[in-house]
Amino acid sequence: MTKTKDAIYAAPLQEMIDFKFDERVVAVFPDMIQRSVPGYGMIISNIGILAGKYAQPGSHCYDLGCSLGAATLAMRQRINQPDCDIIAVDNSPAMIERGRELLARDSGPTVPVTMVCADLQDVAIGNASVVVLNFTLQFIPPAQRLALIERIHAGLNPGGILILSEKIAFDEPERQQFHVELHHDFKRANGYSDLEISQKRSALENVMIPETLACHHERLKAAGFSSSEVWFQCFNFASLVATK
């Protein structure tokens, strides 16, 4: 599949509008996320590996904030347990519409997938073995995050896991600057201009709120997870696996 190039922030904008997962973003999303998130492809394939290891027979796997379903498709390739299914949720109608087309083209594995257009806060989570929040929690208002993580913990079976990937922040200003500059260098090396980088940064400012790794570990512990481990980090992007 040829990817449509992301040029959403290439021209100067008169007025900065908050970032939204609309049709324009959907049309360029695979290119945008690959050129913007260091290690995205590796994270997706390893979500498949983790799901292959932790999916339990007769349980549900959830992909919350699934976008076009990249993590869902990776899990589907790797899950080899009877009576397992995947519930993929996103509240962007444009994402789900395109995600369903891509899912219909996916051949081979038989793990059933249901793609739901809904606010993940309204979706019941139960009999779960694997729950994925791949760069989604950062878009949930911080005041709602603990209750969501508690609800995920409550819906997981013993031995189940939460895979949590996030852009992260650093308390120390020098460390914050170090990682942000390297992330911007990564974006520049992938063809984004300084204008694109700065306009997108402004558009994301009120919408995407990163937290420190310490904050994530503490919240996971407070929600009842017995352990949380960083299994991937590149610059200010990390992925954790938390075990019930």
HSE, side-chain direction, 13 A CA sphere, residue 241? 17
The amino acid present at 221, given as its one-letter code, is K
Q: How far is CA 80 from the centre of its chain?
A: 23
HSE, side-chain direction, 13 A CA sphere, residue 25? 16
> Both tokens of residue 149?
């993580």
Long-range contact set of residues 184-192: C-beta below 8 Å, sequence gap at least 24: 186/38, 186/235, 187/35, 187/36, 190/34, 190/35, 190/36, 191/35, 192/35, 192/36
- Looking at the Cβ atoms of 89 and 149, the one nearer to ligand GEK is 89
- Looking at the Cβ atoms of 50 and 203, the one nearer to ligand PPY is 203
**Residue 167 beta carbon to ligand PPY: minimum distance, rounded to whole angstroms:** 5
3-state SS, one letter per residue, for 96-138: HHHHHHHHHHCCCCCCCEEEEECCHHHCCCCCEEEEEEECCHH
Closest-approach residue to ligand GEK (CB) = 65
The answer to whether 200 contacts ligand PPY (rule: CB under 6 A) is yes
As a residue count, the chain comes to 244
Q: Is 90 annotated as belonging to a binding site?
A: yes
Q: Which does 235 bind (CB under 5 to 8 A by kind): ligand GEK, ligand PPY, none?
A: none
Q: Is 76 annotated as belonging to a binding site?
A: no
**Is 156 strand, coil or helix?**
strand
DSSP run (H or E) holding 221:
helix 213-222
The answer to whether 36 contacts ligand PPY (rule: CB under 6 A) is yes
**Is 70 strand, coil or helix?**
helix
Q: Is 65 annotated as belonging to a binding site?
A: yes
Q: Which does 200 bind (CB under 5 to 8 A by kind): ligand GEK, ligand PPY, none?
A: ligand PPY
Site string for ligand GEK, 85-104 (x = CB under 6 A): ----xxxx--x---------
Site string for ligand GEK, 17-36 (x = CB under 6 A): ----x-----------x---
Residue located via tokens 């609309």: 22
**Residue 140 beta carbon to ligand PPY: minimum distance, rounded to whole angstroms:** 14
- Of 32-40, 91-99, 115-123, 168-176, the segment contacting ligand PPY by CB under 6 A is 32-40
Chain positions contacting ligand PPY, by CB under 6 A: 32-33, 36-37, 167, 200, 204
Chain positions contacting ligand GEK, by CB under 6 A: 21, 33, 65-67, 70-71, 89-92, 95, 119-121, 134-136, 139-140
The annotated binding site for S-adenosyl-L-methionine is made up of 40, 65-67, 90-91, 119-120, 134, 201
